């Protein structure tokens, strides 16, 4: 498992599959996961693509420094590390696939460095939600983002193996579709990744930096047409994601110049894990 060169003193751990020189693909995981969320997607792409799968800052085997979240764990900071990795590997014309946090980071990279990106294949979150996120049903789902702002999150979860496993199991069970149940091996792996002292707090640096859906939705405004993300973008919108109902896809055209929404039936929030064949097919199509 190689490590990237340091950006802001953060090294990213990453896997590389396939053949360098083939169409490049970068796959970005979400919370509460790590790069292994993308294993089944990468396996389907390795014959014809050069696939790079990193752990984002604060996750998996990447660095987890105790730093100001706003400066070092927000979208701009995560994008710096991703751009640094692509530059180090000499990759351009990359299809970036991402879900959850990885989706937001992919969108940030496409906004800042469209010269590096051929296309995006992402799941929600998507811009355009606005104040709908304050409706009663969404507020019941997004409680965890307020909890992550509290020092109590560190006291109750960080470094506590049992608490970490229970906390992760809740999200992987509640956010997934009806036909998916995380198995013990998956929960064991994620517990091992999130339970060392400091690991959980590093992982929620994204939320403490204001990267969560609630803060972003309330702050966003539709850009002028010339300022929209110009990279061709496909949103894979799952049927059973309790966080992001399908009707929230209605305004994505105000934020992207070339965007399509593809519905993914029977899947929940974790599309790369629950429907890797759908995710990989969309990435391969975007890379042609």
- Which candidate in 100, 158, 240, 241 is catalytic? 100
**Alpha-carbon span 17 to 46, nearest angstrom:** 6
158 is catalytic: no
Give a yes or no: residue 182 inside a domain: yes
Give a yes or no: residue 71 inside a domain: yes
Give a yes or no: residue 105 inside a domain: yes
Instruction: Give me the number of domains the chain comprises.
Output: 1
Please write down the HEC assignment for all residues of the chain. Answer: CCECCCECCECCEEEEEECECECEEEEECCCCCCHHHHHHHHHHHCCCCEEEEECCCCCCCCCCCCCCHHHHCCHHHHHHHHHHHHHHHCCCCEEEEECCHHHHHHHHHHHHCHHHEEEEEECCCCCCCHHHHHCHHHHHHCHHHHHCCCHHHHHHCCCCHHHHHHHHHHHHHHCCCCCCCCCHHHHHHHHHHHCCCCHHHHHCHHHHCCCCHHHHHHHCCCCCHHHCECCCEEEEEECCCCCCCHHHHCCHHHCECCEEEEEECCCCCCHHHHCHHHHHHHHHHHHC
Give pLDDT, residue 215.
86
- Which candidate in 50, 207, 240, 241 is catalytic? 207
Give a yes or no: residue 1 inside a domain: no
Report the CATH number that the domain containing residue 168 is assigned in CATH. 3.40.50.1820
Give a yes or no: residue 4 inside a domain: no
Give pLDDT, residue 80.
98
269 is catalytic: yes
Give pLDDT, residue 200.
98
Phi, psi of 118, rounded to the nearest 5 degrees: -85, -40
Give pLDDT, residue 1.
87
100 is catalytic: yes
Give a yes or no: residue 8 inside a domain: no
Residuewise pLDDT in 10s, the chain (288 residues): 899 999 999 999 999 999 999 999 999 999 999 999 999 999 999 999 999 999 999 999 999 999 999 999 999 999 999 999 999 999 999 999 999 999 999 999 999 999 999 999 999 999 999 999 999 999 899 999 999 999 999 999 999 999 999 999 999 999 999 999 999 999 999 999 999 999 999 999 999 999 889 888 988 899 999 999 999 999 999 999 999 999 999 999 999 999 999 999 999 999 999 999 999 999 999 999
Give pLDDT, residue 218.
87
Domain that holds residue 81: 14-287
Q: 261 and 237 in contact (C-beta within 8 Å)? A: yes
Give pLDDT, residue 219.
87
């Amino acid at each position: 498992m190689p490590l990237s060169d340091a950006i802001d003193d953060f090294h990213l751990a990453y896997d590389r599959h396939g053949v360098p020189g083939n169409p490049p693909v970068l796959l970005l995981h979400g919370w509460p996961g790590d790069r292994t969320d993308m294993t089944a997607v990468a396996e389907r792409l390795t014959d014809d693509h050069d696939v790079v799968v990193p752990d984002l800052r604060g996750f998996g085997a990447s660095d987890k420094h105790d730093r100001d979240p706003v400066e070092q764990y927000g979208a701009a900071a995560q994008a710096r590390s991703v751009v640094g990795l692509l530059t180090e590997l000499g990759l351009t014309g990359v299809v970036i696939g991402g879900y959850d946090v990885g989706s937001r980071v992919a969108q940030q990279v496409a906004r800042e460095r469209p010269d590096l990106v051929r296309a995006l294949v992402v799941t929600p979150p998507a811009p355009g939600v606005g104040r709908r996120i304050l409706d009663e049903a969404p507020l019941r789902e997004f409680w965890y983002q307020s909890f992550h702002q509290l020092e109590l999150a560190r006291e109750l979860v960080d470094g506590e193996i049992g608490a970490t496993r229970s906390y992760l199991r809740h999200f992987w069970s509640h956010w997934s579709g009806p036909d998916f149940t995380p198995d013990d091996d998956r929960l064991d792996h994620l517990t091992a990744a999130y339970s060392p002292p400091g690991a959980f707090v590093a992982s929620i640096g994204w939320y403490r930096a204001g990267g969560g859906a609630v803060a972003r939705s309330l702050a966003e405004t539709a850009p002028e047409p010339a300022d929209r993300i110009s990279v061709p973008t496909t949103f894979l919108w799952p049927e059973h994601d309790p966080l992001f109902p399908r009707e929230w896809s209605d305004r994505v055209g105000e934020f992207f110049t070339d965007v399509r929404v593809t519905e993914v039936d029977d899947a929940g929030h974790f599309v790369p894990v629950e429907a890797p064949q759908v995710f990989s097919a969309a990435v391969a199509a975007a890379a042609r």
